[in-house]
Amino acid sequence: MSLSRREFLQTLGAAAAAGFALDARTASQASSFYDLPRFGNVSLLHFTDCHAQLLPVHFREPNVNLGVAASANRPPHLVGEALLRHFRLRPGSREAHAFTHLDFERAARTYGKLGGFAHLATLVKKLRAGRRASLLLDGGDTWQGSAISLWTRGQDMIEAQKLLGVDIMTGHWEFTYGAARVKEVVERDFAGKIEFLAQNVQTSDFGDPVFKPYAIRELAGVPVGIVGQAFPYTPIAHPRRFVAEWKFGIEEERLQRSTSFSAAIPTTACRSRWWCPMRKAGRWSPTRDRTENFSRCSISISGAGGSRGIATACSRCSRTCFPPISRWRG
């Protein structure tokens, strides 16, 4: 088979329009994009809010995100050029496409769709291959969001979670399938595979815990504790009938008691995972402020919109520190 010069140029043009990298340096950079440096002795891998999207999709970040009072003009309430400046991201780069709405149509043609569980599985395997002492945490909003998940009542995503190797999760829109369905999954599908943690879900009558509040895993000789906190506004964000016999809430005192178990663990790293409220209609403080209310919480990683996150507790200190926010994109 031979190509004329015109046919060759047409082929290159079609490849460029489809988003293929024609620059060898660009291709090399793409292949090493997730070659993250290792540090520490335990790694926490976290994803959240996939909303039942098994296949890659085009996703446009919002161009407006309002923060009030102390939250104004601070992450995660930054969009567009302000976000690029704050995190020192280059305009027109794949990071700019992943995290902002800027020049969306052109960038979408260049970089293609985002996400997809096949791509996520490849990334998880790549990261775990060099990080044997690791946990894969799912921040929820996983079972709901597609037609297939609606028809199967989340079963397609539950099977995907097990194949992906999720260790621990908490819930948000999962509760829209109803209390009975959530309990069924936790007790049947997740048994011996995935732990579902939610310290702030109790029975409405006697206040008994519905789910395990926390779990402790030993990784590389390090006991790691994870506290789960489900979305606190579930009964008012969704029809109350879905969880008629359960009550939710922030439950700061209960959360503090759960994180305090780290004091009894003779280790330098005790992780606690939880959902926490960002500022909603001016009522609640940002994740950063909320986390600082608790002793032994040292890291907070937020989910979508910052409405929930991961707090990392250390048994040898009571300070709070915050790593750069990062989100996976395919």
254 pLDDT band (50/70/90 cuts)?
confident
User: Mean per-residue pLDDT for 117-134?
Assistant: 91
User: Mean per-residue pLDDT for 223-234?
Assistant: 86
Taking the alpha carbons at both ends of the chain, their separation in whole angstroms is: 34
**CA angle, residues 98, 128, 76, in degrees to nearest 5:** 30
* Any domain includes 131: yes
Q: Domain check: are 206 and 217 in the same one?
A: yes
pLDDT surpasses 60 at 213 = yes
Q: Model confidence over 284-308: pLDDT tens digits?
A: 333 444 445 555 555 555 555 444 4
Q: Model confidence over 68-85: pLDDT tens digits?
A: 898 888 888 899 999 999
Q: Model confidence over 27-73: pLDDT tens digits?
A: 555 667 778 777 788 888 989 899 999 999 999 999 999 888 988 88
pLDDT surpasses 50 at 277 = no
Paired tokens of 4: 């004329």
Q: How many independent structural domains does the chain possess?
A: 2
Residue 38, Cβ density class (10 Å: 0-12 exposed, 13-18 middle, ≥19 buried): exposed
Paired tokens of 211: 């789910």
Whether the CB-CB separation of 48 and 143 falls below 8 Å is answered with: no
The CATH code of the domain that includes 152 is 3.60.21.10
* Domain enclosing residue 196, as ranges: 42-53+115-313
Q: What is the pLDDT of residue 301?
A: 55
Q: Helices 155-164 and 117-129 meet at what angle, rounded to 10?
A: 20
Q: Domain check: are 262 and 302 in the same one?
A: yes
pLDDT surpasses 60 at 323 = no
pLDDT surpasses 50 at 266 = no
Q: Domain check: are 87 and 132 in the same one?
A: no
Q: Domain check: are 172 and 299 in the same one?
A: yes
Partnered with residue 215 across adjacent β-strands are 226
Q: What is the pLDDT of residue 216?
A: 87
252 pLDDT band (50/70/90 cuts)?
confident
Q: What is the pLDDT of residue 2?
A: 66
Task: Give CA–CA dist 330/328, Å, rounded.
Answer: 7
Q: What is the pLDDT of residue 201?
A: 95
Paired tokens of 54: 């098994």
Whether the CB-CB separation of 113 and 57 falls below 8 Å is answered with: yes
* Upstream peptide bond of 223 is cis (omega within 30 degrees of 0): no
Paired tokens of 88: 């020192």
pTM above 0.75, yes or no: yes
